[in-house]
Structure 1
Amino acid sequence: MKLYVVILCYRVPELTIDCLRSLAPEIGRVPGMKVGVCENGTGPEAAEMIRRAIEENGWGPWCELTAISPNRGFCGGNNILIREALEWADPPEYVYLLNADTIVQPRALEILVDFMDHHPRAGIAGGRFLSPEGEVQCSPFRFHSIASELDRGLRLGPVSRLLARSAVVPPPPSSDCQADWVSGAGMMLRRSMLDEIGLLDEGLYTYFDDADICMRARRAGWEVWHVPESRIVHLEGASTGVVARVQKRRPAYWFQARRRYYLKHHGPFYAAAADAAFLTGFALWRLRRWASRRPDTDPPHYLRDSFRHSVFGAGFQVEEVQNPALVEQPLPAETFA
């Protein structure tokens, strides 16, 4: 098999169906392509809605639904389908992780497959993400650092300009380029790379997983590429509600994933420096915001939550993120042809 597309659905069955509808014309463009949908614990009604759409639209020959409960997070849900696919008699050469809240633009997958075929050291590749209005969204990215954490917290123009080369979000490139990491909302993974470095880190649950797997890939000698000709429309944050412009308290698992990422890849001293840089910068920003009477656009309790989940508040052990859905033993997965 050439390509296996994995779509994770949580609380967005209607968007998942729209995503499948955008994929239908692409099936013929990539011979040997199949799609797997993981309904990640929303409930039987959502699974039935997707199953019915697959049947009524005649997508069954190329699309299969797997329903699981409870929610395993982005990493666990995707890994269930990836792990199964890698054990097939004809495993896919590439796995493409695709968010359910996306609309695939014409030839997006064909372009990435062709790029990977011609770049054998490319372990990971991602395309350009667009808003529904056509605006370019963030991707690719630079790795998080002490400098980027200071800038993220402080939000002071002269400092941001001084630290521009450390910014996590660089200006969007117009041509193919190597990157530190690309978004997991649309990420192509080479099977031979997965065989070497492993699957998504389920200890991260849902966040920082894309930066993590790209970090592991690059450290193993694989390349990570951004291919802007491949385009995906992304309704950012539809499943989780974590969107920069929305004033909503950030969930504990976001902070826990961030701490695990820093401790896992950089060790305790670097993680402490990164936490100190952000907390200091953000505290100063809050004072400036209060003194200048600017509107408060930060998530509620963000400074307190950031400290509570930092290495200073939560410790220096590399721990797994707590899955809020795991209050009982998970039920076995069910597959619908």
Structure 2
Amino acid sequence: MTSTLSSTDPLAVSIIIVAADSGPTLREGVRHVLACKVPLELILVDNGSSDGIPQAIQRAHQNDHRLRCLYNHANLGFGPAVNRGAALAHSDVLLILNPDCMLDEASLRRLLQLLEETPKAGLIGAVVCDEQGVPDPASYRRDPLLRRALRSMFGGDKSGEGVHIAGGMPDHPVQAEAVSGALMVMPRRVFEFLRGFDEAYFLHCEDLDLCRRARDAGYQVWLAGDVRVLHGKGGSSRHRPVFVSWHKHRGMWRWFRKFDPASRHLFVRIFVWSGIWAHFVLNLPRLWLRLLRYKPRTDTA
């Protein structure tokens, strides 16, 4: 596809997608973005994929000046890759998008409108949904403090005291403590002020970290409850569930040590560390079974 926009059109947004053997859904995600008429650039950051899809996408869209590709020769992790993509961005607005999220024109325009209308917003998320339209609870949640996590384990979410928020997903913009990193839009100046993602996270929980640091810096975090975006839940995650789970648990431990006041107590730290890694070990059989059952999609594009 050849872009109908002139290279001199002012950019409304720089969209950053990080790929790591993300599979055929990456093609679909890129097609959705490039179908939008909003003046944009798409920065595709590849974390050492071996499937050849990022290179195929670059060849397929070689006449579209909006697409730029950055190839890392190893998997640097999600946050570090986004930071490198953001360093190449030309727009004053960044939109971080998972490779399996299907962003449409109306959703993009609504997100940009809300960002413009909310001057105190440092970060805005959307409601990401599965193929059945069921919202991911991670779209709208609280900081995962230990006391909240324990309450969630024992039904505290229903009373409004857990990590997840009772009452269902809102259908209008609301302030939140944290939103999903599958889709985040923010002013570039805020991203740079926060120095981007904390690169000590490899995968998972870096979005919680960024939301918390934005709020600590005096910015607001918002959920665009009226924006629903299909999220395919991880092409790269499905074929290496143990690897992903390992880094998710590492991220949980880092977030706890950085932000939870309970981490100041030695015995609580020992309890939480033990609980996190016991949870990882207990889930290994299920993860290995998932890997045995995994059947990669055939890319016919």
C-alpha distance in structure 2 between counterparts of 1:134 and 1:53, whole Å: 30
- Please identify, of 274-283 and 131-140, the stretch whose mean Cα deviation from structure 2 is larger: 274-283
For the aligned residue pairs, the C-alpha RMSD in angstroms reads 2.9
CA deviations over 1:200-223 (Å, ceiling 9, x no partner)? 111111111101011000000000
- 2:271 match: 276
Q: Which runs of 5+ in 2 are unaligned?
A: 1-10, 287-301
CA positional deviation for 1:242: 9.4
1:65 aligns with 2:62: no
Q: What does residue range 122-271 of structure 1 map to in structure 2 within 5 Å?
A: 122-138=121-137, 139-152=139-152, 155-157=153-155, 161=158, 164-170=160-166, 171-241=168-238, 251-266=245-260, 268-269=263-264
Query: Which of the residues 7, 12, 15 maps onto 2:17?
Result: 7
Query: Which has the bigger relative contact order, CA under 8 A and spacing at least 6?
Result: 1
Q: Supply the AA of the counterpart residue of 2:16.
A: V
Instruction: Give the CA deviation at 1:5.
Output: 0.2
Q: Deviations over 1:166-215 (max 9, x none)?
A: 22354311211000011110000211212322111111111111010110
Q: 1:299 — aligned with what? A: 283
1:122, CA displacement in angstroms?
Answer: 0.4
Question: Is the contact between residue 263 and residue 271 of structure 1 (CA under 8 Å) also seen in structure 2?
Answer: no
TM-score (norm 2): 0.80
Among all aligned residue pairs of Structure 1 and Structure 2, give the percentage whose two residues are the same amino acid.
Answer: 21
Counterpart-to-counterpart distance in 2, 1:237 and 1:42: 14
**Are positions 1:101 and 2:97 aligned together?**
no
User: Quick check: 1:35 aligned with 2:42?
Assistant: yes
1:265 CA drift (Å)? 2.1
Distance across 2 between alignment mates of 1:275 and 1:188: 36
Instruction: Indicate how the Cα distance of structure 1 residues 148 and 281 shifts in structure 2: closer, same or farther if over 3 A, else same.
Output: farther
Compared CA separation, residues 4 and 249, structure 1 to 2 (3 A)? closer
| The structure with more radius of gyration | 1
CA contact (8 A) 2:20 2:46 kept: yes
Query: 1:20, CA displacement in angstroms?
Result: 1.3
Distance 1:197 1:118 in 2: 22
